[in-house]
Amino acid sequence: MRTALAKPGLMVSISVSVIFHGILIYLVALGWEETKQSEVRNPPRVVQATIVELTQKAPTQATKLKEEPKPKKIDLTKKKREAELAEKKRQAQIAEKKRQKELEEKKKREAKKKAEEKRKQEELAKAEALKRQKALEEELERVEQERLQQQLQEEIEAAEAAERALIAEQQAEATAQSYVALISQRIEQFWSRPPSARTGMRCELLIQLVPTGRVVNVSIASSSGNSAFDRSAEQAVLKAEQFRELQQLEPEVFERYFRELRIVFNPQDLRL
């Protein structure tokens, strides 16, 4: 009785719940974190859009010289009739005239054609020149863009490198700090303070170390004014003798922070 009611309702509620949680997990996994990060990670890459106009190609095929059909010579006067000689002559004259006329016309036409052709060629040349110019301009623009892009890329890389260097430096400093803390802790163990030590006394030592961690030299950088106190501090460093932990340090960090180490002694506690 109850199952008949519960079945469809149960399916609906299970799917609603699962979908709801799925959406939530999706949002958490991909949602709002993404926007913040992409801003930092991907510097905007500028892509400039250029309108490339397709120049209409001038009719390239050279206008072929249409061969003018040669006028047929009409030799009507081939009949060799003596009586018609005059006629023939006349006709010959006419033909001659005609021929001349035709010749003239042909010349004219040819001249015209030539002019046309020349014009066309000129046009073609002009179009060609224009095209070349355009291509040149485009090329120039492209080169310029590439240069800009490269410049941008270089700038980004430089910035990234600088950031990395900064972080590395911070890390180095942090490790150096922790090693300094370690060293001062060790020295404090060996330090027996003289009875004449008073609060407010301050003695700064300059310790020279080698990469194995061994102390090679100790000198007093600034005295506290009490020679017993100064000596006790010096003795403490000499007793500590070697700090093996420094061997784990990277060489450049060692060079930077530990080749010469300044440590301040005062009776409260050890402080750098």
Partner 1 sequence: MQASESLSIWSLIVQASFLVQAVMAILLLASVVSWVMIVNRGMYQRRAKRLYTEFEKRFWSGIDLTQLYKQGNNRANAGAIDGVENIFRAGFKEFSRLRQQGAVDAEAVMQGTERAMRVALAREEEKLEANLAFLASVASVSPYIGLFGTVWGIMNSFRGLANVHQATLATVAPGISEALVATAMGLFAAIPAVLAYNRYSARAESLAGNYETFSEELSSFLHRKLHSNVA
Residues that bind partner 1 (CB under 8 A): 1-2, 4-6, 9-10, 12-14, 16-18, 20-21, 28-30, 33, 37, 40-41, 163-164, 167, 174-175, 177-179, 181-182
Residue number with CB closer to partner 1 (21 or 131): 21
Amino acid at 88: K
Q: How far is the CB of 207 from partner 1 (least distance, A)?
A: 18
Q: What are phi and psi of 219, to 5 degrees?
A: -140, 155
Q: How far is the CB of 156 from partner 1 (least distance, A)?
A: 14
Structure token digits, residue 41 = 């990670």
Q: How far is the CB of 220 from partner 1 (least distance, A)?
A: 26
Q: How far is the CB of 179 from partner 1 (least distance, A)?
A: 8
CA 170 to chain centre: 27
CA distance 181 to 270: 9
Residue number with CB closer to partner 1 (28 or 135): 28
Residue number with CB closer to partner 1 (2 or 66): 2
Q: How far is the CB of 256 from partner 1 (least distance, A)?
A: 16
Residue number with CB closer to partner 1 (26 or 212): 26
Amino acid at 5: L
3 state DSSP class of 106: helix
Q: How far is the CB of 150 from partner 1 (least distance, A)?
A: 24
Residue number with CB closer to partner 1 (109 or 164): 164
Asked whether 265 and 200 are in contact (CB, 8 A), the reply is no
CA distance 230 to 228: 5
CA distance 242 to 218: 12
Asked whether 269 and 181 are in contact (CB, 8 A), the reply is no
Strand order in the sheet with 260-265: 215-222, 203-209, 260-265
